[in-house]
Amino acid sequence: MPELPEVETIARTLREGRGEVNSILGTTIERASVLWERSIAAPSVPEFLRRIQGQVVHHIGRRGKFIVITLTEDTLLVHLRMSGDLRVEMDGDPAMLPLKKHDRVVFYLQGNKRLVFEDARKFGRIWLLADPQVELGKLGPEPLSEELTPAAFYTMLCRHKRQIKPLLMDQTFLAGLGNIYTDEALFKAKLHPLMGAQELTSQQAGELLTAIKETLREGIKRNGASIDWVYRGGDFQNQFFVYGRKDQPCLVCGTPIERLVVGQRGTHICPQCQMIKK
């Protein structure tokens, strides 16, 4: 958490604005302040501070779980990991606004704005790269890409003997899925998370890809899910079929939802709807 829909929502807010928060497109980064040096993955902190100064924000997008901010000369990549967030502060002189306890990196923008990277657990990372493919090139295809067809997805699955849930969460296989949206997509496709990827038929692969795309699009439409203190602002949690619903009745068949551990991750299933066929 956050996963693809939450990251997409944050990127869209930075790009288009939302409510009282204006877009930061076209603004100049006048300077930055690094309060937790390990938040900067590359380059060194002194070089980061030197290179970021004076660069203009030209585009804001997403790749997998990365927020991708294209600048005049470099690309700023932000990975929120477990507890990261980005917020824009608009009012007053940014130098006078008190920072919060978990603020790690601050970008001071023209027009008395600042972009703040907040990260309570300190797992999030920021890169400033001349070539973003140094990091982004490691990722698998985008699940919402039109180029990811059922046939292509089936071919990808056939190459692996891993359990389907850990494989879907492997960012080198498919970029953007995490625990929540994987559980929801597997339920929608009526697939048990312990199934081997190579066991799926071409029809099941197509149904799974459709479920993944539908689940992610609904998550984006609802601005992601707000389930803890880390990310707030979405309401997809109100649409969950299985995630976090242990012992509650399945909304399809009424069977109590079960929680098991798959690949060291808490996993929610309906044992009736997602039964492993012998």
pLDDT tens-digit series, residues 113-142: 999 999 999 999 999 999 999 999 999 999
**Of 136, 159, 187, which residue constitutes the final position of a domain?**
136
83 touches 123 (CB < 8 A): yes
Pair 103, 95: CB distance under 8 Å:
no
Mention every residue, 6+ apart, whose C-beta is less than 8 A from residue 229: none
Question: Is residue 276 situated within a structural domain?
Answer: no
- Predicted structure pTM score: 0.93
Give the 3-state secondary structure of residue 5: helix
Active site residues: 2-3, 65, 265
Please check whether residue 239 lies inside any domain of the structure.
yes
Lowest mean pLDDT among 14-23, 43-52, 66-75, 213-222: 14-23
Backbone angles phi, psi at 113, to 5 degrees: -115, 160
Q: Which of 125, 124, 238 is nearest to 180 (CA)?
A: 238
Are 107 and 14 part of one and the same domain?
Answer: yes
Which pLDDT score, from 0 to 100, does residue 161 have? 92
pLDDT at 18: 81
Domain that holds residue 126: 4-136
Query: Contact at 8 Å (CB) between 221 and 4?
Result: no
pLDDT band at 91 (very low <50, low <70, confident <90, very high): low
Judged against a pLDDT cut of 90, whether residue 176 lies above it is answered with yes
What's the pLDDT band for 232 if we cut at 50, 70, 90?
A: low
Report yes or no on 278 lying in a domain. Answer: no
pLDDT recorded at residue 223: 83
The three-class DSSP label of residue 217 is helix
Phi, psi at residue 136, to the nearest 5°?
Answer: -70, -25
Are residues 172 and 249 both part of a single domain? Answer: yes
Q: Are residues 132 and 177 in the same domain?
A: no
Residues 178 and 251 placed together within one structural domain of the fold: yes
Are residue 214 and residue 118 in the same domain, yes or no?
no
Q: Is the pLDDT of residue 258 over 70?
A: yes
Task: Pick the closest to residue 150 from 195, 215, 208 (CA basis).
Answer: 208
Same domain, 69 and 93: yes
Average pLDDT of span 155-165: 96
Q: What residues contact residue 153 under an 8 Å CB cut-off, 6+ apart?
A: 205, 206, 208, 209
Domains contained in the chain, number: 2
pLDDT over 80 at 275, yes or no: yes
- Residue 278, pLDDT > 80, answer no
Beta pairing partners, 171: none
Distances (CA, A) of 253 to 195, 241, 273, 274: 21, 11, 7, 11
pLDDT at residue 229, as a whole number: 52
Q: Which of 86, 69, 68 has the alpha carbon at shortest distance from 25?
A: 69
Confidence of residue 276 (pLDDT cuts 50, 70, 90): confident
- Identify the band that residue 228 occupies on the pLDDT scale cut at 50, 70 and 90: low
